[in-house]
Structure 1
Amino acid sequence: MIDVSGKWALITGASRGIGRLIALEMAKRGCNLVLHSRRLSHCSSLLEQVQRLGVQAYAVEAELSDLDAVEDMMTRIDRTGTSLDIVFNNAGVQVAYRSAFLETPSEDYIKSFAINTIAPMRICYHVLPGMVDQGFGRIINTTSGIALDPQQAGYSASKAALDKVTVDLGSKYDGTNVILSLADPGWCRTDLGGPNAPNPPESALPGVLIGAFVDDRRSGRLFAAPHFSGMTLEHAVQQAETSCVVPYDR
């Protein structure tokens, strides 16, 4: 299990929900943070919290449906001189629940793919060369276990696409110290999951953190947070390294 103290992590969607929990846990372990939200003001209280924990941190803003804004955000991070070691592509959107699913509009797919698939992959493509050059990197893309739900087709399809491109891209880095993983938080009571979800956001820990701490040079795995709920992070990482299957090993 790696030590993240002194490293830099970008967390998208950091201002609330699971993203906020990730930020606080990483800060407690000494990791410096770049906190993303749609508006800088959304992260102001979190920024103060993590800085009080003794780490360096700053906020960036970008509307992830605007892919030019995503590229601009990454350029601004580069200009600070920050070398990102870890990326949590946590932000996502569930645009609508369509009871009349045969009337699902194209816009559901367009917005879902922009935010849930294309934006995180543009971030991946931007940071990977630097991670390779420095000989270390961890990318954790947040997916979903949603299935058999055509009422949320745009969301479901965009997450399935993210799974595919993450696994395929991860295969190119397997065996190196740049590790790409997927994390499924489970259905949690967040702004995205809604008030009727069965699980509190805290149940996603430590599962959503595992991909930042694994140290076995294997990429492409899915870490389903409910399987690790209640464990210490150390135990969860040990379990993940010994029992989670890499897709292209099959």
Structure 2
Amino acid sequence: MVNVQGKWALITGASRGVGYQTALFMAGQGCNLILHSRELTHTAKVEQEVRALGVDVYCVQAELANHEEVVAMLDEIEGKGTPVDIVFNNAAVQIAYRTDYWNTPVEDFEQSFRINFISVATICNRFIPQMIGRGFGRVINTTSGIKNEPEQAGYAASKAALDKFTKDLASRLDGTDVILSLTDPGWCRTDLGGPNATSPVESVIPGIAVGAFVDDKKSGRFLHAQAFAGMTLEAAVALAETMEATPYTI
């Protein structure tokens, strides 16, 4: 199992929900954090909380729908000289629920793809080559199990694109100690999931983070966080490493 103490992790969407839970958990393991949100004020609370756990932390901001802001955020991180060892691409948007799905506005697709896919691809393409060069890296892309819901066509299509991108890219990481995984938090009671969701957001731990700790150089796994709910981290890693890591298993 990977020891993340002293390593640096970037968490997008860290101010609330799954990103917030991930930040607290990783800080508890001694991991230094870069906390992303749309505005720095949004991460002020979690920044204080993780700093109290004894790790180094700083915050960055970017509207992920704006490619120039994403690039500027990545430039800022590089400018600080931070070696990003782990990335949790957690932030996402679920635009609307369209009962008249035949008339889904094109803006639903454009906004969903910018935030849920293009920003993630931009982050991966910036940091994964650096990870390969340093000989270590973990990237966890958050997907969704949503299916058969044309009412959420923009969101679902953007997550399908993310799945394909992740699986294809994973096939190029064989022989490296850079592991690229997909994770699905399940339907959780968050601002995105809503109050009627089946699972409390705390149930994503440790499953949402287990991809940072696997240590077998196998990329392309799909890790459903709810399958690890209530486990110790050690047990979760052991289970994850039994799961097949092959493309196109979703």
Q: Offset of 1:245 from its aligned partner?
A: 3.8
Whether 1:118 aligns to 2:140 is no
Structure 1 residue runs without a partner (length 5+): none
Matches within 5 A, 1:1-250: 1-247=1-247
- TM (norm. structure 1) is 0.98
Cα distance in 2 between the residues matched to 1:238 and 1:11: 24
- For 2:227 and 2:33, how far apart are their aligned partners in 1? 27
SS of alignment partner, residue 94 of structure 1: coil
Alignment identity in percent? 59
**Is the Cα contact below 8 Å between 1:223 and 1:244 reproduced in 2?**
no
With over 3 angstroms needed to count, the CA separation of the structure-2 counterparts of 1:248 and 1:153, relative to structure 1, is closer
Deviations 1:8-35 (A, max 9, x none): 0000000000100100000011000000
Q: Distance in 2 between matches of 1:226 and 1:9?
A: 22
Return the letter of the residue paired with 1:226: Q
DSSP 3-state at the match of 1:117: helix
CA contact (8 A) 1:171 1:248 kept: no
Secondary structure of 1:220's aligned partner: coil
Q: Secondary structure at the match of 2:65?
A: coil
Structure 1, residues 99-151: CA drift from partner, whole Å, max 9, x if none? Answer: 11111010000000000000011000000121011100000000000000000
In the TM superposition, what whole-angstrom CA distance separates every residue of 1:154-192 from its partner, at most 9, and x where no partner exists? 000000100000000011002310010000000001011
Matching residue's letter, 2:131: M
Letter in 2 for 1:125: N
Cα distance in 1 for partners of 2:212, 2:180 equals 9
Cα offset, 1:247, TM superposition = 2.4
Q: How many Å apart are 1:243 and its aligned residue? A: 2.6
Aligned-partner Cα distance in 1 for 2:137–2:3: 13
User: Which digits, 9 at most, give the CA deviation of each residue in 1:24-48, with x for residues without a partner?
Assistant: 0000110000000000000001111
Q: Give the aligned residue type for 2:45.
A: S
Q: Deviations over 1:186-208 (max 9, x none)?
A: 00010111111111001111111
| CA distance in structure 1 between the partners assigned to 2:209 and 2:54 by the alignment | 20
Give the conservation status (yes or no) of the 8 Å contact 1:2–1:215.
yes
CA distance in 2, matches of 1:104, 1:204: 31
- Quote the Cα distance in structure 2 between the aligned partners of 1:40 and 1:245: 37
Deviation of 1:244 after TM superposition, in Å, equals: 3.6
State the alpha-carbon separation in 1 of the partners of residues 10 and 174 from structure 2. 22
Deviation at 1:248, TM superposition (A): 6.5
**Counterpart secondary structure, 2:46:** helix
Letter in 1 for 2:208: V
TM-score (norm: length of structure 2): 0.98
Matched position secondary structure for 1:223: strand
Structure 1 residues 208, 21: CA separation in 2 closer, same or farther (over 3 Å shift)? same
Q: Give the distance between the partners of 2:245 and 2:220, measured in 1 at CA.
A: 9
Q: How many residues align?
A: 249
Unaligned runs of 5+ in 2: none
* Greater mean deviation of Cα atoms: 237-246 or 21-30: 237-246
